[in-house]
Structure 1
């Protein structure tokens, strides 16, 4: 991560939070982007990350948490449920690998933290993007960026790894026919190409803040309450997510694999303190809370 990107992020956060808090949050997220590897081509960065984890374990070496892989092009990009992801030159295709040290009630916020970081990055360039729960970044009805989070348990069971894959359509503006009207790029919105390195630097700085915020909140809660097993009643990340999301109030179709097995229709009412989506069922008016799955907007 470039020093200019970090200095820009620190100045930005100090305008909104006490200086001491801003400094501590960024310090707690300092592992993010501590090492960055750039490839001209990868089949899939997630797979490469898993191979590297195995190599480190076989050599009995500690994996460097926060390692980032950036590929200029992916030939085997995949999203949820092995759906193909179009990843040609011009986009930002990034994988972040973290050694997970967060307690479960705090680690469940990784998807929201990543979504906020992506939306903040895109908006910093003047693109009015919004978050669709839980892992899509939209401009209007079209998808600008996607997020995939997977976990991996070390062969010896000593560590849990969180693999965060992010794809942002930056300068790539030619999409397969089946994506016409469903995807767009920052270049299309702004009318000109962007510096990919600058987009990557800002994204890493935003990830450092939002993931650092998870560690900061956990540390504060442990100091005050101990391990209650519950998330704090008012997580600052949720306020940021609410301000960037266009999901609350929407009529949606919910399912764990929405394309193959939609389950029910509902209206999104809120996001609960644990990051779950609170829905009011269309069929009978009952309220349910979902912590995993995906939604399709109906209105």
Structure 2
């Protein structure tokens, strides 16, 4: 990154561009409430020329804050120009050279468990929106892979972490986006793509990072707003609660529903069964119809591999 990224620049982008854009789709009171909930994103930003991995660094920094009897700031961000030992799900190697955007975001968890489990959906949605803002038809595949015409452009990994001293709970959100990097390992050439390959030009990384953090502020703010609305409406009568704005927005960005897929916990190594995707459950699970038995199944963890 050539220019430094600051919390102030993210907030200015939200004020100048994001809020006017959201007001075209949501009432003013919702938009401003959501951004209040998402305000911590980018509160502290650390930029490194290179690193092995960012999630271990984030865990280390949280514990260092507590060793000094301080709380770690929610919304703290770590950005690296390149990662030498990037990892995804199941410790899969993540190719993270110069030209891409490699980030870990630390959020103090204040949500109930049923809301916390939606963090992966919210994170994927933010990344997808950021890429789409450059005119690219990116789509979400459950849970949070972002692809363009079947080629992966972004991966997201969410982990929970409990601090050593104060036993505070955090959500660590790792995101890797192929932006200006063009070369991929041979085994990824057919399945990965970058923004530069699609657009035919470089994208300014600092501006993209600011836009991505603004999108995170919205999606994580939506997650908090949804929970507050559900709690306010739940009088114990069993009446239907408000529809999740986050899940509605996620559905609009996804091309998963209606697909035939392989499902598996580690679908690349051990696909378990073939299914048709029926929809997204209210708790974020994926609703599947087993192609052989016809049974309807709701899965809350695992992966999908598109068959068609």
Category of TM-score, reference length = shorter chain: over 0.9
The CA distance in 1 between the partners of 2:48 and 2:292, in whole Å, is 50
SS in 2 for 1:75: coil
TM-score (norm 1): 0.96
Q: Does residue 224 of structure 1 match 2:242? A: no
Of the three residues 65, 81, 93, the one matched with 1:84 is 93
RMSD (Å) for aligned C-alpha atoms: 1.8
Matches of 2:259 and 2:106, distance apart in 1: 33
Q: 1:269 to 1:260 in 2, by over 3 A?
A: same
The size of the alignment, in residue pairs, is 299
Once the two structures are overlaid, the 10-residue window that deviates more, 165-174 or 258-267, is 258-267
Q: CA deviation at 1:10?
A: 1.1
For 2:14, the equivalent position in structure 1 comes to 6
**What secondary structure does 2:135 align onto?**
coil
Whole-angstrom CA distance in 2 between matches of 1:147 and 1:39: 20
For residues 13-41 of structure 1, give each alpha carbon's deviation from its aligned partner in whole angstroms, at most 9, with x where no partner exists.
11211112111110111011111111101
Match of 2:161 in 1: 152
Worse-superposed segment, 171-180 or 221-230: 221-230
Question: TM-score under structure 2 normalisation?
Answer: 0.93
Call closer, same or farther: CA 1:227–1:27 in 2, change over 3 Å: farther
1:42-64 Cα offsets, whole Å, 9 max, x none, are 11010100111121222221110
Label 1:12 to 1:49 Cα distance change in 2 as closer, same or farther (>3 A). Answer: same
CA drift at 1:229:
11
Check conservation: 1:105, 1:231, Cα contact below 8 A.
no
Question: Residues 157 and 281 from structure 1, CA distance in 2 versus in 1: closer, same or farther, beyond 3 angstroms?
Answer: farther
2:53 pairs with 44, 48, 61, which one? 44
| Residue 111, structure 1, aligned to residue 136, structure 2 | no
Higher mean alpha-carbon deviation, 214-223 vs 272-281, is at 214-223
Residue pair 1:231, 1:273 contacting (<8 A) in 2 also: no
